Amino acid sequence: MSSHRFWIAGIIAWMFLFMSIPVMFSAIVIHAWVFPLIGLFAFCGLLLPGKHLIWLASFTCLAYALAVSYLGTSNSSFWLIETAIEISGILIGGALLRKANDSFQQYEEKFALILMMEQGLSIKSEEMVFDQMKRELSRARRYERHLSLVSIEPIIETSPKANSQHLIEEMLGRLHKQLIKGQLAELFTSQTKANDIISYREGQFLIMLPETDKAQAKAMAQRVLTLCDESLKISVQTETASFPCEEFTLSGLIKRTLKKPQTKVSLSKIREPLELEGFVPEMQEDVLQQT
C-alpha cells in the first residue's frame, strides 16, 4: 500500500473511532467545539514547516485550555478522561492530516521527476533530424541567409565508486542524467523558436538556428548558460558554428560544434555523474558535397 493511502486510511479510522467514543461510552461527553479546533490545528499544520509543529501543538493545547476555562467542562466525573481524549484527538488528527499531506507531496515530486525525464525523451536524435538540417542549410545557401549551430553539453564529473555499490551507483547515475536531460530539454524548448531544430547526440544537445548569425548564436548560447546556472544549478559548456562565415557544409558545422567546447560556466556541480550508455552513428562526410 502506498504511504499516502495508508495515512488517509488512518485519518478515516481515527475519525470514526473518535466520534464513536461517546456512543460506546455514554458517560463520556466530547464538546462540539473540539471538532473545529481539530480542523484549525490540521490547517495550520499544513502551512507551517515541520520544526514549528511543536509550537503549534503547544498553542493548540493553550487554546483548548482557554476554551475550557471560558465554556466550562461537563459535570461528569470523567472530566479528566474527557480532557485527555479531546486533546489526544486534536493532536492525533492534525498529525495524521500532516503526514497524509507530506505523502501526497512526495508522490507529486516523484511524478514531476518522471514527467521531466519524459521531456528529455521527446528530443530527437541527431540522426532523426539530419535530413531536416540539410534542408535548412540548403535553404540558407539558396537565399544567402545566415544559419548557426550551437552545441550545449552538461558538465558532469566522474568519480570512482566502491565495487560493491557499482550497480546501484550506475543505475542512480543513469536516472540522474535522464533528469538533467529532461530539465535542459524543457529549458531549450522554451528558449528557441518554432523553426529551430533541437537534437541530441552522445551527451550533447545540438540546436540549429535558421537565419541566425554568429553574434546572435553566441548571445543565445550565453543566455542559455546563465539560465542553466541560475535556474537549474547545472553547469554547461557550449560551442557555436555559423554558415557561411565559418563552414559551408552541415558535416563541417557539426564537426566544429562537437569539438571540445570553449565557453564554460562551472559555478555549480552535478552529483551522481555516471554516464548513460548510448550511440549515434557517425554522419556521412559527403552528404552536402553535391550542392
Cis peptide before 244 (omega within 30 of 0): yes
Distance CA 263, CA 207 (A): 16
Record the cell numbers describing residue 121, joined without a space. Answer: 525523451
Average pLDDT on 19-40 reads 68
What would the pLDDT profile of 229-260 be if each residue is shown by its tens digit? 888 888 888 999 999 888 888 888 988 887 55
One-letter identity of residue 210: P
Report the mean per-residue pLDDT for the chain: 72
Whole-number pLDDT of residue 241 = 92
Average pLDDT on 138-162 reads 80
**pLDDT at residue 117 greater than cutoff 80:** no
**pLDDT at residue 188 greater than cutoff 90:** no
Sheet holding 124-125, edge to edge: 124-125, 197-201, 204-210, 147-154, 236-243, 263-264
Query: Does the pTM of the predicted model rise above 0.85?
Result: no
Task: Determine the distance from the C-alpha atom of residue 99 to the mean position of all C-alpha atoms in its chain, rounded to a whole number.
Answer: 22
Record the cell numbers describing residue 26, joined without a space. Answer: 455514554
Record the cell numbers describing residue 152, joined without a space. Answer: 550545449
Measured in residues, the chain has a length of 291
Q: Where in the chain is the domain with CATH 3.30.70.270?
A: 125-264
Whole-number pLDDT of residue 208 = 93
Distance CA 258, CA 131 (A): 19
The CATH number assigned to the domain with range 125-264 reads: 3.30.70.270
One-letter identity of residue 157: E
Distance CA 211, CA 207 (A): 13
Average pLDDT on 13-29 reads 68
Average pLDDT on 58-63 reads 70
